[in-house]
Amino acid sequence: MDDNNQNIEDINGDTDFDDEDGRGYGSEPDELPEITKTQAMADSEYFVPAEEETRAAEILFDWIEIFSSAFLTVILLFTFILRLVTVQGPSMQETLHERDNLIISHLFFSPKQGDIVVIQVPNPQYSTPIIKRVIATEGQTVDFNFEKWEVIVDGITLDEPYINYDYVTGDKGERVLRYMKNDEIPIESLPITVGAGRIFVMGDNRNQSSDSRSSSIGQVDVRNVVGRVLVRVFPFDKFGVVKPDGT
């Protein structure tokens, strides 16, 4: 009986199962060593590494350079090559309308028949440039059939799908075509020969246009042509190239 009690005591209180350093398994472990925070570790919490700052600055500089180059290119284009103009008045309807914004260019440009051009008229009556269509150039002859709205250049009647005809309502409610106005052109002076270095211009809205038929404008010196209309940029739903046929 005593031997059994001794065995039980050995199992419950035996210290032979202690770990190597002499502590029992139930002893508290040593405290972990304290980690000292270095200045570099502290800085890393608040500061971006120098190489990352340098890279960010380089990217920012690249974008500034791109935008600056693009801006300078636009300035040069609109100073020496292109120009933005706004249509004033109804003389080019239905091809162009009032307040249309257009880009024009004079680079390597020589006016030819059908071109839509911007003209600076050397007449105080016209404080802003006007927009018209070239009907004939130097040496060509121009004639008219005012009743039929026909323009004849060098004996050939022009095909002009862009003309805005002027109709009135007749006694029976029918549409009656008015005569195309001749302004100050004497019938007996027809046909007209376009002088050297000049062009004959007209608006597409013939009865609402002051143009080469009027003595206030007359035949236009090509040196007064500011440029040829290229693109309509506003209104946005009509954005696109302005074609000579008015489409």
Highest mean pLDDT among 4-18, 22-36, 226-240: 226-240
User: Which two tokens mark 118?
Assistant: 């911007």
Mean pLDDT to the nearest integer, 213-238:
94
* CA angle 198–100–228, rounded 5-degree value: 25
Q: Percentage of residues in the chain with pLDDT exceeding 70?
A: 74
The number of CA neighbours under 13 Å toward the Cβ of 214 is 15
Is the domain spanning 87-241 CATH 2.10.109.10? The answer is yes
Burial of 220 (0-12, 13-18, 19+ CB in 10 A): buried
Choose among 144, 153, 111: nearest CA to 213: 144
Domain ranges of the chain: 39-78, 87-241
pTM of the complete model: 0.69
| Choice between 175 and 32, residue whose per-residue pLDDT is larger | 175
What digits encode the pLDDT tens for the residues 106-160? Answer: 888 889 999 999 999 998 889 899 999 999 999 999 999 999 999 999 999 999 9
Residues in the chain: 247
How many other C-beta atoms lie within 10 A of the C-beta of residue 82? 17
How far apart are alpha carbons 116 and 226 in whole angstroms? 11
Residue 22 has φ and ψ, to the nearest 5°, of 90, -5
Residue 119: enclosing H or E segment and its boundaries? Answer: strand 116-119
- pLDDT on residue 17: 46
Residue 129, both tokens: 């440039």
Q: Mean pLDDT for the chain?
A: 82
pLDDT at 58: 75
d(Cα 15, Cα 29) in Å, to the nearest integer?
18
Across the range 207-218, mean pLDDT stands at 93
Q: Which run of H or of E encompasses 225?
A: strand 225-234
Evaluate if residue 22 carries a pLDDT over 80.
no
Strongest mean pLDDT among 34-43, 68-77, 194-203, 237-246: 194-203
CB-based contact 129:120 (threshold 8 Å):
yes
How far lies 181's CA from each of 77, 119, 132, in Å? Answer: 40, 22, 16
Residue pair 153/141 in contact (Cβ under 8 Å)? The answer is yes
Is pLDDT of 82 > 90? no
Give CA–CA dist 246/94, Å, rounded: 8
